[in-house]
């Protein structure tokens, strides 16, 4: 009997395990650039977590001090919103949703979604800046074609050069 319980649990886990990833359209660099209304390099200065007006979602607003606007026009600060966060003992986690820490530096590909500014393609549109390099993470994302995504790591100056080439086409 224990053998069957184990096999049943294994089968259920096998079915549910992929659900910990968010399926999203794979975006190449050109597509990220095209979809983004604004691209900024900046530092995260604060985070505010709250419930949506209907109380069904937990949202987090991040305030970014803009160091450089690379596409579009951004003010000195930008507020972006993600789904998820912690209020008391309640946590909402969305796989593949970018999260930020105060003091973190990043290049962000941003778009308007209704009343909110969000990151294009979830984690695909967040490039962390550290020691003069950018890198991204696609952890928590799956793609409809079943393939895996690839991470990017390169010098920040080269990333900006590649970005400017695409913007000037």
Q: Under 8 Å CB-to-CB from 106, ≥6 apart: which residues?
A: 41, 42, 43, 44, 64, 100, 126, 127, 128, 129
In order, the DSSP letters of 113-137 are ETTEEEETTGGGGEEEEETTEEE--
Determine the pLDDT at residue 19. Answer: 45
Measured from the Cβ of residue 135, the count of other Cβ atoms closer than 10 Å reads 15
The whole-angstrom separation of Cα 38 and Cα 72 is 5
pTM higher than 0.95: no
Region class of 85: left (phi > 0), else alpha (psi between -120 and 50), else beta: left
Q: What averages of pLDDT result for each successive group of 10 residues across the chain (169 residues)?
A: 37 41 76 95 97 94 97 94 95 92 96 93 94 88 74 93 89
Determine the pLDDT at residue 23. Answer: 64
Asked if residue 164 lies in contact with residue 144, where contact means CB atoms within 8 angstroms, the answer is: no
**Domains identified in the chain and CATH numbers:** 21-167 (2.40.50)
* Element of type H or E holding 71: strand 58-71
Dihedral angle at the C-alpha atoms of 140, 145, 146, 150, nearest 10 degrees? Answer: -60
């Amino acid at each position: 009997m224990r053998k069957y319980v184990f096999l049943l649990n294994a089968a259920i886990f096998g079915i549910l395990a992929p659900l910990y990833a968010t399926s999203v359209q794979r975006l190449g660099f050109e597509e990220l650039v095209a979809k983004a209304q604004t691209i900024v390099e900046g530092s995260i200065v604060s985070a505010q977590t709250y419930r949506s007006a209907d109380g069904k979602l937990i949202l987090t607003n991040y305030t970014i001090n803009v160091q450089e606007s690379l596409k579009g026009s951004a003010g000195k600060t930008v507020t972006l919103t993600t789904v998820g966060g912690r209020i008391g003992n309640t946590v909402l986690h969305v796989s593949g949703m970018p999260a930020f820490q105060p003091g973190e530096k990043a290049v962000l590909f941003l778009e308007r979604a209704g009343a909110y500014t969000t990151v294009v393609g979830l984690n695909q549109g967040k490039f962390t800046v550290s020691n003069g390099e950018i890198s991204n993470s696609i952890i928590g994302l799956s793609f409809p074609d079943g393939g895996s995504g690839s991470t990017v790591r390169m010098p920040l100056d080269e990333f900006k050069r590649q970005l400017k080439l695409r913007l000037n086409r």
